[in-house]
Structure 1
Amino acid sequence: MKTLDFGKQLIKIRKARGLTQTDVAEKCNITTRTIQRIESGAVKPRSSTIKIISETLGVDFFETENQNSKLKSHTFLWYIKDLFNFKTNAMKKISILSTSILILTFICINIFSIDAQSKTPKKEQETVLKRQDKNPKKEQNTKLEIQDKKVDYTKDFDEYKIEGNYVFVTKNNKHGLVTLDGKIIVPCIYDKFVFEGRFIIPFKNHKRGLINLDGKVIVPCEYDRFEIEGGFIVTLNGNKQGLMNLDGETIIPCIYDRFEVEQSFVFTLKNNKRGLMNLDGETIIPCEYHGFEIEGSFVFVSKYNKYGLMNLDGKTIIPCEYDKFKVDNNFVFVSKYNKHGLMNLDGKVIIPCEYDTMKIEGAFAIVTKNGKTKNIQI
C-alpha cells in the first residue's frame, strides 16, 4: 500500500484551502507530527484517521481517488471499498473475504502498533501535565471542574448567555442569574436586572430592588428608584424619599420630600419644613423649621422669619422669637422689635432685649435707651 498517494492528496487539498499542517492537526484533534508523517509517507494512516480527516475537511477521499485510476490500483483502501461492493464479481469477492479479513486484521494490528508509537497525543499529554505537574490556582481548578461537568443550561432555561463568571438565564420571559456550575443566584422571576458595582438591581412590575452577588435580597422590588451613596441607599417611592443601610434595614421611611446625608446627620424636608435626624433614624429636630444651619455644636433655626438656637441633642436654647441674632465668642446678640439684648450660650438672659443700641467693650456692654447711655458689666 502506497500511503504516499494519500499524503499527496491531503497536501493538495490542504494547500488549496490555504491551511497549514498545524491548522489541519488542530481541526482533526491530532498532532501536527502525525500530519507531517502522513504527508511524507513515513506512516500509514489508519482508516479511522482517514475518516476523521475526511469528515473534518469535508472531502470524500474515496471519490477523489476514484477519479484517478492509477492511484486506485495502488491504494489498499480502495481495494477494501471495492471488495465490499457486491454489485460486481460477488462470488469471487465472497470467496476471498474470509482470508482478506484475517490478513486485514493482522495488518491493522501492526499499523495500530506502529501508529501508536509514532503518534504523540500532544494535547492529551498537555492536559495531563496541566492537571498533574502544575499547581494551578483555585480559580483555575474550579473552572476546570465546571467545564468537566458540562452544565446543560438549556435543560432548565429557555435562553442563556455566559458573561465572565456568571450566566444570564431566561425562562418564560423572566430573567435570572446562575453561576457557571448552575447554582441559582437570582431566580427567573424578574422582568430584567442590571449590575451596579457589587450589587444586582432587579426590576419587577416597574419597581426595582437590590440583591447582592450571593443572591441575598437587600431591598425588595418595591421602590421606583434608589441610589447607593457610600454605605447607604436613598430610596424613592413616588415623590417621597427614605434611607436604608446596605443590610436592607430601613433607617428613614419614604415619607420625606427630600433629604441630604452630611457626615453623621440627615437633613430632612417635609411639607416645606426642615428637620434633622441621625444615621440611626432618630429625630434630633422635627420637621418644623423653615431653615437651619449647623455651626459647631449648635443649630441656628428659623420659623416664620424668627430665629432661635438649639444644640445637636435637639434641646432648645433660645426659642424662635427673635428677629435676628449673632453669636460672638460666648455671647448671643439678640434683636426683637428693633430692641437689642444679650444672652449666653446656655440661653440665660444677661441683658434684656430693651435697648436701642448696644456694643461690647472689654467686660462692659455700652447700651442706650431713650437717649440715655450706660455701662453694664457682663
Structure 2
Amino acid sequence: MTFRTLDDAGSLAGKTALVRVDFNVPMEDGKITDDTRLRVALPTIAKLRDAGARVALLAHFDRPKGKVVPSMSLKPVVDDLEHLLGAPVRFADDCVGDEAKAAIADLDAGGVILLENVRFHAGEEKNDPAFAAQLADIADIYVNDAFSAAHRAHASTEGVAHLIPAYAGESMRRELEALDAALGNPKKPVIGIVGGSKVSTKLDLLKNLVGKLDRLAIGGGMANTFLFAQGVDIGGSLAERDMAETALEILTEAKARGCEILLPVDFIVATEVKPGADSRPVTAGQPLSADDKILDAGPATVARLVDAMTASKTLIWNGPLGVFEVPPFDVATVAVAHHAAALAKAGVLIAVGGGGDTVAALHHAGVVDDMTFVSTAGGAFLEWMEGKPLPGVEALNV
C-alpha cells in the first residue's frame, strides 16, 4: 500500500489545504453528544497549522440530498471545535464559490475555517466533475482525513483528489497503516473473528477472508447458520436456514484455501433475551427445545479462541460473539476482548477491530485503548475487509 501523506507535501506555508473530515457527529437539540470525530481530526489540523497553512475543513452532516436544510447545518460544530483546538474557528455559509474563497483568503497563516455542509450541493454525491472543480478552485492542496467516507466516490472524497495535489491526513494515514498491518501485509499466523447476526450481509467478507487468514472464528447469529448447515440442533435460535448451502460452500472453500474455521463447540442458551435471564451452557450437538435460543458462545469455545489468539501474531475482528448488549450474554465477547487486548498491550499480537457493533462491544469490554487499533469507519472498514477498492483511498495512491 503506497499513498501520499502530508510528509510528501513539501512547504505548506501560505497555502490553503482543503481537508475532508468526518464531522457527521451525533447531535441532540443542536448539541454534540459525542465529539470523537472532532478529536480524530485534531492531529491533521495541528500539523497543517504548524506548517503555516490555512485550513479549510470540508464535511457532510446527515442526508440533505442536495438541498439546503438549515437543521443540517454544520455551524453548531464550531463552538466544540474551537474548544478542542484552543483556537478560533470561522464558519463559511457555503463550501464553494466566491463567498467561500473570500472567507478563506481572509484567514491568517494557521487559521481554520469550517465550510458549510458539502451535501447541500447535489453535485457532491453525484461526484459531478463541475462541482469537484469548484472545490478544487478554493484550495492549493487536498487532504483526505475521512476514511469513514472513503468507500464513497463523491466529489469531496474522490473527484477533487484528481484535480489538485492530494494527500492522506494523519487519521487516514494511521487507519491505512493499521489495516495494512492487519490484512494487507500481516504478520502470520493471522486469525479473524467475524460475528453478527446474518451470513447474507457478510458473504463478500467471508469469501475474501478465507483466502487470506490462517484461522477464522465465526460467532453470533452467523455461527448458528453454519451449525444448522452441519446438522447441529439450534432450537429456536436466530439463523438464516435458507443460507445453509451457502454456509457449506464457504466451509469447503476455506478448507481448500487452508483456512481453519472455528465454530462454537458449546454455547449459552436461554428461552428469552432479557437482562439476567436464566441461561445454561450446552455442548454443540445436544438436543434443544423449540424455545431454546443460542445467545452467546460457551466457555469451551472461549477457551479455544483464547488459545488460537495466543498462537497468532495478528487479529482482525468484526462482530460480537453473542448478544453482548444484554448481560449475561456478553460474557464470551468480553472475555475474548480482554485476552486480545492483553496480548496487544504486551506487544505480541497486532489486534485490529472495526465496525459499529464491534466498536460498541470493545467499549463495553473497556479495552478500546489497549487494542492496537479500533476503526470507527463502519461501512468503509467492512468494504475494506471484503477486499473492495475504496475510491477515496485509491485517489491517494502514488
Bucket of the pairwise TM-score, normalised by the shorter protein: under 0.3
Higher helix share: 2
Structure with larger RCO (C-alpha < 8 A, sep 6+): 2
Q: Which is greater in Rg?
A: 1
Higher strand share: 1
TM-score norm. by structure 2 comes to: 0.25
